[in-house]
Structure 1
Amino acid sequence: MPIKLEIGDIVELKKQHPCGSKSFEILRTGADFRIKCLGCEKQIWLPRPELERRIRKITNNEDNKS
């Protein structure tokens, strides 16, 4: 069963990005995900299974949802 992830959610990954940040914002969902590093704002594309394996914690960002 896939993890329920939505656009605007903030996820903390197990390994940090080269800039030192572990927090990423989800920009696109589907079979492939586009996430943005909250440290340097670099965008990364990952397949769903790989992203789900890397996630340590999910924070739902209620401010961006209407």
Structure 2
Amino acid sequence: MNPQIENNFSYHEPTPGQPEIYQAIRKKAKELAYLIDDLAPGSREKSLALTNLEQAVMWANAAVARHDK
């Protein structure tokens, strides 16, 4: 059994305080998304920037869910 695989592919029920952390991460990312949307011209690069920002939020939330501080 591989502990990392077990951890990465398991459901992690939010602990007290985690939903607020998720909201804070999403709020800041949304601010940046709007900044990118407002300032960057429509392009593949802009789309990639927004996609990668979404990925960053997902990975940040996964870090919070999977690991204790």
Larger RCO (CA within 8 A; separation ≥ 6): 2
Name the structure where strand makes up a greater proportion of residues: 1
Q: Under a length normalisation based on structure 2, what TM-score does the superposition of the two structures give?
A: 0.21
CA radius of gyration, larger in: 2
